[in-house]
Amino acid sequence: MPDNRREYALNAVLALGLLLVPLWAYWAGSPFTITVFTRIAIFALAAVGLNIALGLGGMVSFGHAVYFGVGGYVAGIAAQHAFNGETFLGIAGANQMLIIWPIAMIAAGLLAAVIGAFSLRTSGIFFIMITLAFAQMVYYFAISWPTYGGEDGLPIYVRNTFPGLNTMRPWNLFILCWCLLMLAIGAFALIRASRFGAALMAIRQNPDRVAAVGISPFGIKLAAFVISAMITGLAGALMADLSRFASPAAMAWTMSGELIVIIILGGTGRLFGPVAGAAVLVGFEVIFGGMTEHWRLWLGLVLLLTVLFARGGIVTLIAGRERLG
């Protein structure tokens, strides 16, 4: 665990800022601001998932968008069948978030178990390319399978429901996402502090030594990869409900790239790095996207300069390097 007061302070600012700005927007009557912050929370949640694989385990998965997309499709397909009364392989539809979330996580986890079992046989540059290729495979499957919308995606006509909350109200949906994000960050902290997390981080540094003391790197990495995908899948289900649309674009390779960008901009392996990174990326899109249609050019330049000259991301910039206590 990092013993760093400035990082604790920064984390508190990020967590409360993410809560208080939408609260202010709620009183000021600006649903657009709330929606922007809901997107930040969801992207941050997806990136918290990836941060387990990439930040702790050093597995550069360039295909995490596929779990994000699968989570979205679970929400979309469940809602469609709840709407039209048909079944998916004999399973009835559902429009309860409390049912959809675990299914989205299980679906993403199962897919990750299969993809991970193949990809984790390799490492380094092979692993990057293979995770990208498998994600592309699922993407092409989604756009060429006509039953659930194919290239057009799957609309969700009525947002899925949560007991006691009207999820059609932006603030209610936001607070659900914020709570889940905080829970996921808590889970990340617990994993990092656990024996499992210690083994995972040791594997990142030297898999041979870990194997020599009697721990199988493959099992640990696969477990971390699956947990990582489950969190990203949950974020995908939330995103589909936010945009009321399950889109194949959510699993496009650019989305995988953006998830990595969020982590790097925020700070690899840092607890609140994904929150900082998601805030910067979404903020960049909202602010510069309104000014010029070529905002991606500037995003590319900022990213390139960050990688070449300012390593460590925002959390490192403000709170300094991580201290291992």
Partner 1 sequence: MTAALLFEQFLNGLQFGLMLFLMSAGLTLVFGVMGLINLAHGSLFMIGAFFCAAAAGLTGNFWLGLAAGMAAAAAAGALIEVTVMRRLYTRDHLDQVLATFALILILSEGTKILFGPFPLYLDVPPLLTGTVNLGLTPYPLYRLALIVAGLGVALGLWLLIGRTRLGIRIRAGENDREMIAALGVNIRALYTFVFALGAALAGLAGALVGAVQSVQVGMGEPVLILAFVVIVIGGIGSIRGAMVGALLVGVIDTMGRFLLPQVFALFLDPSKASGAGAALASMLVYLLMALILVIRPKGLFPVHA
Binding footprint of partner 1 on the chain (CB under 8 A):
54, 60, 62, 118, 121-122, 124-126, 128-130, 132-134, 136-137, 140-141, 144-147, 253, 257, 260-261, 264, 268, 294, 296-297, 299-301, 303-304, 307-308, 311
Query: Which residues, in sequence order, are bridge partners of residue 96?
Result: 161
The pair of structure tokens assigned to 50 is 């990836």
CB of 143 to partner 1, least distance (A): 8
Nearer to partner 1, 25 or 132 (CB): 132
CB of 248 to partner 1, least distance (A): 12
CB of 153 to partner 1, least distance (A): 16
Nearer to partner 1, 6 or 311 (CB): 311
Nearer to partner 1, 69 or 170 (CB): 69
Nearer to partner 1, 168 or 301 (CB): 301
264/123 Cα distance (integer angstroms):
20
CB of 223 to partner 1, least distance (A): 20
CB of 151 to partner 1, least distance (A): 12
Contact 170, 25 (CB under 8 A): no
Nearby residues of 113 by Cβ (< 8 Å), 6 or more positions away: 222, 226
Nearer to partner 1, 16 or 304 (CB): 304
CB of 268 to partner 1, least distance (A): 8
Nearer to partner 1, 24 or 145 (CB): 145
Comparing C-alpha atoms, which of 27, 28, 118, 47 is closest to residue 263?
A: 47
Nearer to partner 1, 47 or 132 (CB): 132
37/178 Cα distance (integer angstroms):
9
230/216 Cα distance (integer angstroms):
22
Helix (H, G, I), strand (E, B) or coil at 162: strand
Q: Any long-range contacts for 206-214 (C-beta under 8 Å, 24+ apart)?
A: 207/123
Tokens 């291992």, located at residue: 324
115/117 Cα distance (integer angstroms):
6
Alpha-carbon distance values, 16 to 140, 269, 325 (Å): 40, 21, 26
CB atoms within 10 A of CB 297: 11
CB of 309 to partner 1, least distance (A): 9
